[in-house]
C-alpha cells in the first residue's frame, strides 16, 4: 500500500456551507499526541515567550490547556482548508469534501482549475488565511498578557506560532504543498503548458520530501542535537517527507505519461483577408465561401489584426464600398494570437477573455500558420488517443 493510500478511512463529522467535513481515523492519534506533548511541556518546564513567563502548571490545568490549544490548532487547519474550498467555489468549482488527515488537510475539488489565475487564487487562499489567524492569535496573546492572564497568553501564542508555521511550510514551492500549486500556476501562466508545469512542481515536491527525510534522520542521529523530543521530531519529519515524496512522485509520473493537447492539434488553416480588402468584397465575395464570424487580417503571412463580423454591425451599409479591412480590424495584440505549442486549455481561456472568441496561430518566426475560430476547440483526428492536459 502507498503512503498516500494509507490515509483513506474517515468519518463525516459536520457540514459547513454545504461541504462535508471528514476526519481520518488516524487524525485522532495525532490529536492525542499533540495534547500530550503540550501538557507535558506545560507541567515540566517554565515557559518563556518574550516577556511572558509561565511557571510549571498542575497536571489538570496543563491537560486542559493542552486540549484547548490542540483544538485551536486543528480548527486553524480546518479554517485553512475551508479558505481553499470557498475560493474554489468562487471560481465556479464544486467542492466534494474537506478531509482532515494526520499531515494536515485536503479540500477535494470535483474538477481542476481551468486557468492559472484560478489555480493561483485557490492555492494562496489557505496560507493567507493561516497568516490572518496567526495575526489574530498574536493580538489575543498580547491582550491576555496585558490583562495578566498568562496561561491564556501562552495558549494564544502557541496557536499563533502554529498558524505561522503552517502558512510558511505550505508556501514551500513543491507539490502537493500550496507553494507548489502557486509555482505550478506561475509556470502554467508563462508557458501555457499545464502538464510541464505540473511535472516541474512535482519534481520540486520530491526534493522537499527528500530533504525532510534527511533532516529527520539527522535529528535522530546527530550527537549535538538536543531538542526535548528528538526522536518524535525526527520520526515526524520523516513521515511528512515520505508523504510528500510519494504524492509528488505519483504526480510527476502521471504528468510524464500524459499527452498534451496543443493548439497545433486543433487549429485550422488560416483563411486570411488582405488589409486592403473592402468590406463590400468581404461580404459579397469572401464570406459566402468561408462561413466564419472572424478572420485574421494578414499580408504575406504577417498578421496585422483580427476582423469580426460583430464589429461591422455599427458600420453603415453605404460605407462598405469605401471601408477597408485595416480600417475596422482589431489591431494585433498578445490576446489575439498563440503559438502552435500552447495548450488547448490555455487557448480556450484566452479566447474567453479576448472579446473575439478566436485566435490567430503564429509560429516562432512571427508568421501566420493557422487559425482557431470560435467553437474549434477539439483536436484533429490523428489516429491516436490522447489525454486531456488537465489533471
**Cβ contacts of residue 174 below 8 Å, gap of 6+?**
180, 183, 201, 202, 204, 205, 206, 207, 208, 209, 244, 248
Residues 211-246 have pLDDT tens digits of 989 988 887 777 665 555 556 677 778 888 888 888
Does residue 238 lie within any of the structural domains? no
Query: What gap in Å lies between CA 88 and CA 194, rounded to an integer?
Result: 18
User: What average pLDDT does the segment 267-290 reach?
Assistant: 88
The answer to whether 277 and 287 are in contact (CB under 8 A) is: no
CA distance 13 to 263: 45
Return all residues near 69 (Cβ < 8 A) that are at least 6 apart: 34, 38, 155, 158, 159
pLDDT value of residue 235: 79
Which of 68-82, 258-272, 289-303 tops mean pLDDT? Answer: 68-82
Residue 214 maps to a domain: no
pLDDT tens digits, residue range 156-202?
A: 988 998 899 999 999 999 888 899 999 999 998 888 777 888 889 88
Domain count across the chain = 2
Q: Is residue 185 part of a domain?
A: no
pLDDT tens column, 68-94: 999 999 999 999 999 999 999 998 888
Domain boundary among 136, 171, 206: 171
The three cell numbers of residue 276 are 486592403
Taking the C-alpha atoms of residue 31 and residue 70, their distance in angstroms, rounded to an integer, is: 7
CATH number at residue 313: 3.10.580.10
* HSE (side-chain half, CA atoms, 13 Å) at 318: 0
| pLDDT for position 4 | 44
Return the axis-axis angle of helices 27-44 and 59-90, rounded to nearest 10°.
140
| 385 assigned to some structural domain | no
Within-domain flag for 277: yes
- The side-by-side arrangement of strands in the sheet containing 368-372 is 337-338, 359-362, 368-372
49 is in which domain, residue-wise?
Answer: 4-171
Peptide bond into 13 cis (omega under 30): no
Amino acid at each position: 500500500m502507498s503512503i498516500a493510500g494509507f490515509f483513506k478511512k474517515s468519518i463525516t463529522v459536520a457540514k459547513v456551507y454545504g461541504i462535508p467535513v471528514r476526519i481520518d481515523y488516524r487524525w485522532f492519534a495525532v490529536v492525542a499526541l499533540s495534547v500530550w506533548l503540550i501538557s507535558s511541556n506545560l507541567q515540566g518546564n517554565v515557559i518563556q515567550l518574550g516577556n511572558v513567563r509561565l511557571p510549571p502548571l498542575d497536571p489538570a490545568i496543563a491537560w486542559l490547556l493542552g486540549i484547548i490549544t490542540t483544538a485551536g490548532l486543528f480548527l486553524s487547519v480546518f479554517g485553512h482548508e475551508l479558505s481553499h474550498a470557498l475560493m474554489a467555489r468562487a471560481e465556479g468549482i464544486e467542492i466534494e469534501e474537506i478531509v482532515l488527515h494526520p499531515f494536515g488537510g485536503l479540500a477535494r475539488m470535483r474538477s481542476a482549475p481551468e486557468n492559472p489565475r484560478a489555480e493561483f487564487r485557490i492555492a494562496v487562499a489557505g496560507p493567507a488565511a493561516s497568516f490572518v489567524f496567526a495575526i489574530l492569535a498574536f493580538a489575543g496573546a498580547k491582550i491576555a498578557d496585558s490583562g495578566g492572564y498568562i496561561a491564556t497568553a501562552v495558549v494564544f501564542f502557541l496557536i499563533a506560532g502554529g498558524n505561522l508555521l503552517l502558512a510558511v511550510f505550505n508556501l514551500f514551492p513543491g507539490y502537493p504543498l500550496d507553494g507548489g500549486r502557486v509555482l505550478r500556476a506561475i509556470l502554467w501562466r508563462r508557458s501555457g503548458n499545464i502538464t510541464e508545469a505540473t511535472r516541474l512542481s512535482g519534481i520540486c515536491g520530491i526534493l522537499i520530501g527528500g530533504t525532510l527525510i534527511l533532516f529527520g534522520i539527522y535529528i535522530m542521529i546527530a550527537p549535538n542535537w538536543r531538542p526535548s523530543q528528538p526522536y518524535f521530531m525526527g520520526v515526524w519529519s520523516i513521515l511528512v517527507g515520505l508523504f510528500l515524496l510519494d504524492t509528488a512522485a505519483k504526480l510527476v509520473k502521471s504528468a510524464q505519461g500524459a499527452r498534451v493537447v496543443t493548439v497545433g492539434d486543433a487549429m485550422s488553416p488560416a483563411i486570411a483577408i488582405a488589409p486592403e480588402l473592402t468590406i463590400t468584397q468581404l461580404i459579397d465575395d469572401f464570406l459566402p465561401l468561408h462561413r466564419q464570424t472572424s478572420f485574421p487580417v494578414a499580408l504575406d503571412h504577417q498578421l496585422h489584426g483580427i476582423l469580426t463580423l460583430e464589429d461591422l454591425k455599427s458600420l453603415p451599409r453605404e460605407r462598405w464600398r469605401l471601408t477597408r479591412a485595416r480600417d475596422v480590424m482589431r489591431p494585433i495584440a498578445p490576446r489575439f494570437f498563440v503559438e502552435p505549442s500552447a495548450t488547448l486549455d490555455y487557448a480556450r481561456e484566452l479566447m474567453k477573455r479576448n472579446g473575439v472568441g478566436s485566435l490567430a496561430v503564429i509560429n516562432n518566426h512571427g508568421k501566420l500558420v493557422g487559425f482557431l475560430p470560435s467553437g474549434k476547440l477539439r483536436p484533429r483526428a490523428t489516429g491516436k488517443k490522447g489525454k486531456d492536459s488537465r489533471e
